Amino acid sequence: MTVLVTGGAGYIGSHMVLALTDRGETVVVLDNLVTGFDWLVSPSAELVRGDIADGDLVAGLIERHGIDAIVHFAGSIVVPESVADPLGYYRNNTSKTRDLIESAVKGGVKNFIFSSTAATYGVTGAEPVTEDRPLLPISPYGRSKLMSEMMLEDAAFAHDFSYAALRYFNVAGADPGGRSGQSTRGATHLIKVAVEAALGKREGVEIFGTDYPTSDGTAIRDYIHVTDLAAAHLKALDHLRGGGKSIVANVGYGRGLSVREVLDTVREVSAVAFPVRESPRRAGDPPSIVADSSKARAELGWTPQLDDLPTIVEHALAWERHLMRRNA
Ligand code: UDP
């Protein structure tokens, strides 16, 4: 049994590779290395550079390695970029996922785990969102992922194939052992941007929108440690391998934090009062989104271990320092 991890040289994918290899699984990573880095891939896994939509390549990997599960992370992840380049997002996230699902079905791979997103919900209000809420994404990113969920549902109905679509909330932090972390240059995600500012890699942080209908006017998100997210994928893999039914589940902590609260925590943990500037809202951003993760806890047996913002920030800072030494 070998697990194929697409996008395994990226941020979340590389943590999943660590989680798998730490428990002794055999792992093949397929990554085009456009946004990923070969040095993020655990030396215990085999890295293949290529495209997930290359049917011959994927068929060969499935056959040669006896792949029994695909964990699919490869894709584009920046909401405002998707607003500017929707067709690029539909190509990378939707069409290529279609091709990968087809390769899985043709190759007899019965277990498929998909990186979905809270962005499939759109505007929800402050209360935790359950999986049965209407799916009304407000960005091409959210739509591109929702279409992939729909394809999986239809493929699982038609073929001998099961899937888990995990809807991630805001993923942050880094491997507690310092083996991987968010390494993208020109990153846009809040905690990454803030730790860069704390370490003097940027001038400061802009708050996008201070007029949201929230407690302090800034947007609310549910920030989850990347290692807890990887652990949820292991649980989903065990669920599917054990004959469990296809499942769509939120993965977040169920705790909403405002942009200001996050920035205050990064200032406290880093002990650096980097400048913060108020700016207009950013396109495609909902005011508030928080997970109800009771389904993942009950049906997958997932229990978060690192549900603490200062810990998430500490690990993100440690990784950022590592990157600075590495690139020095
Ligand atoms: N945000 C911000 N300044 C930044 C980056 C993000 O104010 O430099 C806000 C963003 O507008 C959103 C929240 O932080 O309300 C989380 O954004 P992020 O890009 O981290 O994740 P998203 O929720 O878009 O997936």
Query: What is the CA(34)–ligand 1 centre distance, in A?
Result: 23
Does 210 contact ligand 1 (Cβ within 6 A)? Answer: no
Q: Which of 116, 190, 214 to probe ligand 1 with, by most ligand atoms within 8 A of CB?
A: 190
Please name the residue that has the structure tokens 């705790």: 255
Does 319 contact ligand 1 (Cβ within 6 A)? Answer: no
Does 285 contact ligand 1 (Cβ within 6 A)? Answer: yes
d(CA 42, CA 126): 38
Query: What is the CA(189)–ligand 1 centre distance, in A?
Result: 6
d(CA 9, CA 18): 11
d(CA 255, CA 253): 5
CA distances from 162 to 108, 111, 246 (A): 11, 5, 5
Token duo for residue 29: 């990573």
d(CA 33, CA 49): 7
Does 189 contact ligand 1 (Cβ within 6 A)? Answer: yes
Instruction: Give, for all 328 residues of the chain, the pLDDT tens digit.
Output: 999 999 999 999 999 999 999 999 999 999 999 999 999 999 999 999 999 999 999 999 999 999 999 999 999 999 899 999 999 999 999 999 999 999 999 999 999 999 999 999 988 876 899 999 999 999 999 999 999 999 999 999 999 999 999 999 999 999 999 999 999 888 899 999 999 999 999 999 999 999 999 999 999 999 999 999 999 999 999 999 999 999 999 999 999 999 999 999 999 999 999 999 999 999 888 899 999 999 999 999 999 999 999 999 999 999 999 999 988 7
pLDDT of residue 70: 98
Query: What is the CA(211)–ligand 1 centre distance, in A?
Result: 14
Does 77 contact ligand 1 (Cβ within 6 A)? Answer: no
pLDDT of residue 327: 82
Query: What is the CA(186)–ligand 1 centre distance, in A?
Result: 14
Structural domains of the chain in order of their starting residue, each with its CATH number: 2-171+224-251 (3.40.50.720), 190-221+254-326 (3.90.25.10)
d(CA 161, CA 101): 10
d(CA 219, CA 248): 25
* Cβ–Cβ < 8 Å for 222, 119: no
Does 53 contact ligand 1 (Cβ within 6 A)? Answer: no
* Cβ–Cβ < 8 Å for 72, 6: yes
* Cβ–Cβ < 8 Å for 55, 102: yes
Query: What is the CA(65)–ligand 1 centre distance, in A?
Result: 39
Of the candidates 116, 96, 76, the one whose C-alpha atom is nearest the C-alpha of residue 232 is: 116
The model's pTM is 0.96
- ∠ CA 132-136-142, nearest 5°, is 105
Q: Which of 282, 309, 312, 313 to probe ligand 1 with, by most ligand atoms within 8 A of CB?
A: 282
163 is catalytic: no
Q: Name the residue with the closest Cα to ligand 1, atom 19.
A: 189
Query: What is the CA(285)–ligand 1 centre distance, in A?
Result: 8
Query: What is the CA(190)–ligand 1 centre distance, in A?
Result: 5
Does 219 contact ligand 1 (Cβ within 6 A)? Answer: yes
Does 282 contact ligand 1 (Cβ within 6 A)? Answer: yes
Does 259 contact ligand 1 (Cβ within 6 A)? Answer: yes
pLDDT of residue 328: 75
Catalytic annotation, pick one of 11, 89, 141, 212: 141
* Cβ–Cβ < 8 Å for 168, 118: yes
Q: Which of 208, 211, 274, 289 to probe ligand 1 with, by most ligand atoms within 8 A of CB?
A: 208
* Cβ–Cβ < 8 Å for 195, 266: yes
d(CA 127, CA 255): 10
